[in-house]
Amino acid sequence: MKRLPSGSLSLLVLIALAIVGIVLNETGQLEALKGVALHLTTPLQSRLATLTSSLSDLTQAARDLSELRQRNEELEADNARLIIENVRLQEDRKENERLRALLNFVQTNPDYDYRGAEVRARVIGRDPTNFQSYLIIDVGSEHGIARRMPVVTERGLVGRISEVGPNWSKVLLIIDPSSSVSALIQTTRATGTVRGQVGNELLMDLIPQKDAVHKGDIVLTSGMGGNFPKGLIIGQVTEVYQRDIEMFQQALVRPTVDFEHLEIVLVITNFQPLPLETPEAVETPES
């Protein structure tokens, strides 16, 4: 038995379906069949529509999320730029305030020549025999800086130049234990010597018992000894130590300079300290 070609078979199926359709249409049953087919396919179409809508919403959400991320990155970049700009403006404002304060100090103390310097480092070193507290500043012999020149800020005395390089200098601070400054009490003019103490404090010693010293008194450089100009602020008395059996009284002094946060200082370049005293040879009588 021969098989019909697949093309002929398909044609016969189509003719049969057409005949069935004509018969159903003539008998009025095609509409009923359409209704059944519509009833069966409606839920599927609804699900397909819901799925299509969900896919569309999902695509839109992904697109919105991508745009939101991009916008968030832009906002973060803008915020970072604003933070940097704000920091720069704050630093500029603080620097201007410091410079204005230093300028005011220079204008109110016109007898001296000054050289501005930026603090490069604060160094605290210890060796077996000594404790040193000093600053490194960015000016040296090439800028006219020499040893023993006083160093100040608008808040008072910082110290003096102890070592000089071509473009750097070392400043021995007044809070260093090896530092000694002739001083006086502003109100009573009581004199004494201010020495550095470990812990950023100062001790005013050798104050005569007859002179009054009180908490809150301002301590200034006296100019005696010729190592520092007269009238520079050193600090404020916080405690007074007095014993009748002692020849002198003492006072604890809080520096007015914030040594922990120094950034800009002034070197007084035209003050000439007295020459350092050198021990003279002691003559012995001839026997």
- Between CA 205 and CA 194 the distance in angstroms is 6
Query: Tokens 């002198």 sit at which residue?
Result: 248
Over the chain, what is the mean pLDDT? 81
Mean pLDDT of 121-141: 70
Amino acid 24: pLDDT: 57
Closest CA to 160 of 27, 81, 276, 51: 276
pLDDT per residue over 179-213, tens digit each? 999 999 999 999 999 999 877 789 999 999 999 99
Nearest to 237 by CA among 259, 262, 212, 258: 212
The string of pLDDT tens digits covering residues 4-18 is: 565 566 666 667 666
